[in-house]
């Protein structure tokens, strides 16, 4: 069973995914209910930010953001009652999902709502090392996943849904198939591979396995389907992240309200087992190492990994071994992209196709000089306005 964590004080960054800024619509001293909009963008395509607890706005200030920079945050002091705002429904399913603040839970971007899609795929393979949030949700909330997928299909006009699950999880596959009876949703067992996180490859592999070609498939995530279910069926905005925590005194799945500090999340699981050398938000391959555990859970948080033994190594100069080039699944030159990004030459990054990077993290993982290539490429993409 997952553990719910509701903070006494929520520090909510109004930047909930890369390069998408909102402005506060509340002031210090305002009383808010859980689910109230507290920040909104002038861009109507950017989801608003909601209060994750009820209470009083005690501060609006710059705080550390888990992506490694400072961000304006709305600080709410809880009244201890967790009173929810009265549910409202926006006109149209897509607009309702947007207004409830749904973004792609495993990613750093807005939910794909292409109405030209004929298939919606949910990736439930937990392909990242030390991450088990997909399985935890499907074990605990099967109905929310199936109904959430159905709602995503309805929102984009797709007639077919597919959920990919690790083939070794036979009991889970059977349980999900039973839950999906009567719906146009297929449950498919897949061999666990890290590349399952690459949407194009996952779509291709499923198309081959099902012996059918998807004209246009949208790949989403199990936590996203759960969030859509809660938004549409329960009227609850996206104010809670479902994440797996590895390395605390207890390893478990946690339902943490947005704005909960990493320190509080770990504390709910019995605290640290020693002095942590490194705390990583999300996957160890593609996540972000934190300089403090006082940063907050955001909508893009799906895992915390705590390491007590990892050696801290400073990057060395590139030795031109080309290992990063050899492992890149989309045939880029990560060495050149990293070089130009470090120098701030983003036009050159564009010419080397930075936007094509799928941020798998292979290049950083194999680099013998410990150069953070993926992070440098991500930085270039942000400056090119690509997002992820």
How is 54-89 classified by DSSP, letter by letter? -EEEEEEEEEE-TTSSEEEEEEEEE-SS-PBPPP--
Shared-domain flag, residues 183 and 281: no
Shared-domain flag, residues 9 and 82: yes
Residue 60 has which token pair? 């609006």
Q: Is residue 222 one of the residues assigned to a domain?
A: yes
pLDDT digits (tens, 9 = 90+) for 320-343: 999 999 999 899 999 999 999 999
Domain boundary at 185, 202, 233, which?
A: 233
Cα separation of 236 and 100, whole Å?
7
Choose among 15, 38, 35: nearest CA to 230.
35
Shared-domain flag, residues 167 and 209: yes
pTM of the model: 0.87
Shared-domain flag, residues 47 and 67: yes
Q: How many domains does the chain have?
A: 3
Structural domain range at position 80: 3-87+236-307
Shared-domain flag, residues 224 and 127: yes
Cα separation of 383 and 347, whole Å?
10
Residue 319 vs residues 323, 338, 387: alpha-carbon distances, Å: 10, 13, 29
pLDDT digits (tens, 9 = 90+) for 180-228: 999 999 999 998 777 677 777 788 778 878 777 677 889 999 999 999 9
Query: Tokens 């478990």 — which residue?
Result: 252
Shared-domain flag, residues 104 and 228: yes
pLDDT digits (tens, 9 = 90+) for 238-254: 999 999 999 999 999 99
Cα separation of 388 and 377, whole Å?
11
Cα separation of 105 and 96, whole Å?
17
Q: Is residue 250 one of the residues assigned to a domain?
A: yes
Domain boundary at 184, 218, 233, which?
A: 233
Choose among 35, 33, 34, 12: nearest CA to 24.
12
- The SS3 of residue 388 is coil
All residues at 6 or more sequence positions from 141 whose CB lies less than 8 Å from its CB, including other chains: 226
């Amino acid at each position: 069973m997952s553990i719910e964590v509701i903070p006494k004080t929520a520090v909510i960054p109004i930047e909930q995914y890369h390069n998408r800024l909102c402005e506060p619509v509340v002031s210090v001293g305002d009383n808010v209910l859980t689910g109230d909009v507290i920040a909104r963008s002038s861009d109507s395509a950017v989801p608003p930010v909601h209060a994750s607890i009820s209470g009083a706005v005690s501060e609006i200030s710059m705080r550390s953001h888990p992506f490694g920079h400072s961000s304006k945050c709305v600080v709410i002091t809880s009244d201890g009652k967790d009173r929810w705002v009265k549910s409202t429904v926006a006109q149209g399913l897509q607009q309702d999902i947007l207004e409830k603040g749904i973004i792609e839970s495993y990613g750093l971007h807005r939910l794909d709502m292409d109405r030209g899609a004929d298939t919606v795929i949910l990736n439930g393979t937990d392909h990242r090392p030390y991450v088990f949030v997909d399985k935890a949700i499907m074990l605990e909330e099967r109905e929310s996943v199936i109904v959430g997928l159905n709602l995503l299909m309805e929102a984009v006009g797709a007639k077919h849904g597919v959920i990919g699950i690790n083939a070794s999880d036979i009991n889970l596959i059977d349980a999900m198939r039973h839950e999906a009876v009567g719906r146009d949703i297929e449950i498919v067992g897949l061999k666990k591979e890290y590349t399952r996180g690459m949407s194009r490859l996952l779509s291709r592999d499923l198309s081959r396995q099902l012996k059918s070609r998807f004209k246009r498939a949208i790949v989403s995530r199990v936590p996203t389907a759960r969030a859509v279910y809660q938004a549409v069926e329960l009227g609850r905005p996206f104010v809670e992240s479902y994440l797996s925590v590895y390395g605390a005194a207890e390893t478990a799945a946690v339902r943490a309200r947005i704005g909960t500090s990493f320190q509080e999340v770990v504390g709910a699981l019995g605290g640290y087992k020693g002095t942590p050398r490194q705390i990583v938000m999300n996957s160890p391959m593609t996540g972000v190492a934190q300089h403090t555990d006082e940063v907050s859970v955001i909508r893009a948080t799906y895992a915390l990994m705590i390491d007590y033994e990892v050696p801290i190594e400073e990057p060395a100069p590139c030795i031109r071994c080309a290992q990063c080039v050899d492992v890149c699944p989309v045939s880029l030159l990560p060495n050149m992209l990293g070089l130009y990004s470090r120098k701030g030459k983003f036009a050159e990054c564009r010419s080397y196709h930075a936007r094509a990077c799928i941020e798998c993290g292979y290049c950083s993982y194999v680099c013998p000089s410990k150069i953070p290539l993926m992070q440098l490429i991500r930085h270039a993409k942000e400056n090119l306005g690509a997002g992820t």
